[in-house]
């Protein structure tokens, strides 16, 4: 028995050559501007329009999905911006309330300081007795609720803003407030105060911890 070996047939490249050349010519015609204008506006315009309509009908669901995704992303961004705006407005309102409270406290202290200066120029017989003076400050140390509240406010404030408030007040009152605060917070406010005011404050009240 004789077995003959069959040769393997080569791949028929020539069979695919004409379709590839035809597709390349069509793509070139659509890419080249003069030929594209002939196709879209010349005798082949009806066929081009029909093909374009068919393609739009097939691709419409994909365009709709893309538009829905874009709308969803835009709504998400709008919601995030609205949340940031609401937080900023709440923070601004809190700052305004804090500033209004501090301003009211400053006005009260300035009124008390003005009254104290007026009483200092009055006759000795009209001055209050020491017992009454001490009772106004709830003890010799002068730790009143206003002082404690001011200490809490100044601790929570920025040192520069607290320094702006402190330099408008009498040094004795500022010293009483500093006595209720932590040394690091006092040191930060002293660094933000004008050097002349800070020097006067530490000279008159050497117990202030810097």
Length of the chain: 210
In sequence order, the 6+-apart residues with CB closer than 8 A to the CB of 144 are: 137, 138
Residue 150 pLDDT > 80, yes or no? Answer: yes
- Residue 2 forms part of a structural domain: no
Query: In the chain, how many domains are there?
Result: 2
User: Does an H or E element contain 73, and which?
Assistant: helix 45-120
Mean pLDDT of the chain: 75
- Residue 44 forms part of a structural domain: no
Residue 166 pLDDT > 70, yes or no? Answer: yes
CB neighbours (10 Å) of residue 207?
8
Residue 137 pLDDT > 50, yes or no? Answer: no
Find the range with the poorest average confidence among 30-44, 87-101, 112-126.
112-126
The reply to whether 111 and 146 lie within a common domain is: no
- Residue 163 forms part of a structural domain: yes
- Residue 189 forms part of a structural domain: yes
User: Mean pLDDT, to the nearest integer, of 7-31?
Assistant: 76
The reply to whether 73 and 108 lie within a common domain is: yes
Percent of the chain past pLDDT 70, that is, above it, reads: 72
- Domain, as residue range, for 150: 141-210
The reply to whether 110 and 166 lie within a common domain is: no
d(CA 162, CA 167): 9
Of 92-106, 119-133, 156-170, give the range with the top mean pLDDT.
156-170
Q: Per the structure block, which two tokens stand in for 170?
A: 């009498």
Taking the alpha carbons of 172, 177, 180, 185 in that order, is the dihedral positive or negative?
A: negative
d(CA 186, CA 75): 47
What does the radius of gyration of the chain's CA atoms come to, in whole angstroms? 43
d(CA 172, CA 48): 91
pLDDT, greater one: 93 or 4: 93
Q: In which band, very low, low, confident or very high, does the pLDDT at 115 lie, cut at 50, 70 and 90?
A: low
- Residue 24 forms part of a structural domain: no
Residue 194 pLDDT > 80, yes or no? Answer: yes
Of 6-20, 76-90, 93-107, 131-145, give the range with the top mean pLDDT.
76-90
Residue 22 pLDDT > 60, yes or no? Answer: yes
pTM equals 0.38
The pLDDT assigned to 122 comes to: 45
pLDDT per position as a tens digit, 64-104: 777 788 898 888 889 889 888 888 888 888 777 777 777 77
Only one residue has tokens 């917070």, namely 185
The reply to whether 199 and 151 lie within a common domain is: yes
Chosen domain end from 50, 82, 116: 116
Chosen domain end from 71, 100, 116: 116
- Residue 145 forms part of a structural domain: yes
CATH of the domain at 168: 1.10.220.30
């Amino acid at each position: 028995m004789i077995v003959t070996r069959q040769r393997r047939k080569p791949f028929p490249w020539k069979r695919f050559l004409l379709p590839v050349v035809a597709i390349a010519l069509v793509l070139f015609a659509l890419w080249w501007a003069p030929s594209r204008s002939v196709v879209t506006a010349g005798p082949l315009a009806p066929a081009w329009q029909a093909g374009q309509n068919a393609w739009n009908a097939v691709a419409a669901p994909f365009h709709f999905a893309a538009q829905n995704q874009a709308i969803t992303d835009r709504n998400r961004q709008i919601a995030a911006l609205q949340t940031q705006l609401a937080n900023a407005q709440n923070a601004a309102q809190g700052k305004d309330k804090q500033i209004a409270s501090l301003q009211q406290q400053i006005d009260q202290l300035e009124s008390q300081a003005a009254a104290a200066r007026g009483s200092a120029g009055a006759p000795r017989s009209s001055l209050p007795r020491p017992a009454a003076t001490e009772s106004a400050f709830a003890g010799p140390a002068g730790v009143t609720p206003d002082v404690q509240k001011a200490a809490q406010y100044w601790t929570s404030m920025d040192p520069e803003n607290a320094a702006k408030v402190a330099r408008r007040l009498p040094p004795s009152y500022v010293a009483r407030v500093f006595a209720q605060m932590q040394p690091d917070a006092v040191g930060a406010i002293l660094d933000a105060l004008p050097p002349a005011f800070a020097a006067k404050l530490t000279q008159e009240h050497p117990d202030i911890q810097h």
